[in-house]
A and B are shown apart, each in its own frame.
Chain A
Amino acid sequence: MKLSRHTKVAAAVAGAATIALLATACSSGGGEGSDEKITLTVTTFGTMGLDDLYEQYEADNPDITIEATNIDTGGNALTDWQTKQAAGAGLPDVQAVEEGWLSKVMQVSDSFTDLSEYGAEDTADQWVDWKVKQATDADGRIIGYGTDIGPEGLCYNGALFEAAGLPSDRESVAALFGGDDATWEKFLEVGNQYKAATGKAFYDQSGFVWNSMVNQLDEGYYTADGELNVEGNADLEARWALLAQGAADGLSANQTQWDWGKGQAFVDGSFATFVCPGWMLGVVKGQVEAGGGDATSGWDFADVFPGGAANWGGSFLTVPTTSKHPKEAAALAAYLTDAQSQVTAFQAAGAFPSNVEAQGDAGVTGESDLTAFFNDAPIGEILAARAEGVVAQYKGPDDSVIQEQVFGPSVQELDSGKADGPTAWNHAIDLLHELVSE
């Protein structure tokens, strides 16, 4: 192979130029060409039911183009956001944030736009009050508009209840667990009755139960002033003892959470109750269908929750300060979370509105595929009732680490019978010292 020298020099120059291009390619971002046309990027996760709203907004605002990215799960969305936040680049104009990692967001709340500048304070009363409180940082800045909330009710399998000689219609089941005064003690008592009659477990695994038990307290792993408060916390220890008792009595089916044998456990009678925040109803339906069941599998939804009102999950739309168009982004976020949009999102994805007006809307309280699946339960009405009395618990920066990594292993020890309550609690405390620096 013989090349002329010119070719070779040219090749060398071209080679060097390629390297230079490669090196600089990363730094050149897509700048907006004209001033009139604005492109807004939106990052959401899971099923938030916003897709139709984007099109509507673009039609109403011809100078705005929306580029939406949806990440499959909240956990992956967290990794995505954290990486971009840490790198200081790549964040969208509108970023969806989940309640579970809101505490991490609050650590860097000054890198989010204060939406009060764009009218958030004036419209604050359209949301349930604790939702706004959650999105308010220590300096009183409102950094997110609420989308959905996750008030918890009790899913139960009517057919299994009937077979165990327990009442199976919604009102009687609610009364069975104590109605408005439902407690975890009562829950375990009914569980033991069920276990005695059928020999089967009552709930799928202890993790979600523990989650609910902690979330519904006025103060969880942290005090309201932000002090870590796990060791020697009598409220937590009392609830842990109940959880351990339930597991020791064989009320937990020791299922793998988020797996449930690919849905089979929901149809083979492994357990009869399940803690259900609004968004979980869609998950239950999906699991039952994956396991080969349908509406006749017996699942129903009762207007009762042990230990009182509880909330699990729900999201916010925020505007990172890196956005070049904070005004337009804030307007879009406001639109995506107004009453009408939340009704649309509920119908599309079952995300229960945090907007008070939307909660009473016929589109939320009426019938849907989901109500048909849950034995025609008035899901919208039940969830609105379950949302009453929820408090915004202070979540510290390591809240999710404590929930998952400190108590997760111990909960699993309880379920698999490897340790009793006090031993598992001590293991959790050991891990707390190891994992959470304070």
Chain B
Amino acid sequence: MEKKNYTISVYSENNIGLLNRISAIFLKRHINLESFSTSESEIPNVFRFVIVVNIDSEKVRKIVQQIEKQIDVIKAYYHTDEETIFQENALYKVKSSSLFEERQIQNIIKDSHATIVTVSPEFFVIEKTGFREDTEKLRKNLAPYGLLQFVRSGRISVSKAKMGISELLNTFKNNN
């Protein structure tokens, strides 16, 4: 079966140990994570994991079943890239001297639509949000000028289709 990128979105309670429980599901099946990020969701006290894996559709379906089975998981979904809006965020730390000495670097920043976050006498920091190709292209372009540090976030993503977690939580409230 064909492997592709799937974005798994997990809505959960904010409990210690759940991260371990979820990562154990991938570990047990020898699956590497392409990206992982977590934050509070649109609902207070409900957290959201966004996990990207490159596997086939049957595997992702079974994994989502296993994730959803965890007591503290409210609901889990999976989507293909086409079904989501997703971005990554990257930070680039560059020597300040190169900003002034290398004219080309200013063009690179301009062309990439990156933002300068901070400038100090020693270094400056550029921020770029976009697809993997965009942040990667900027990294490659900046590399010759001496990248002091580079870091990229995990994918954050929202689905095009409705997930309806609030409605789901309301039905639980009414049932209990």
Do A and B interact with each other, yes or no?
no
Residues in chain A within 8 A of chain B (CB atoms): none
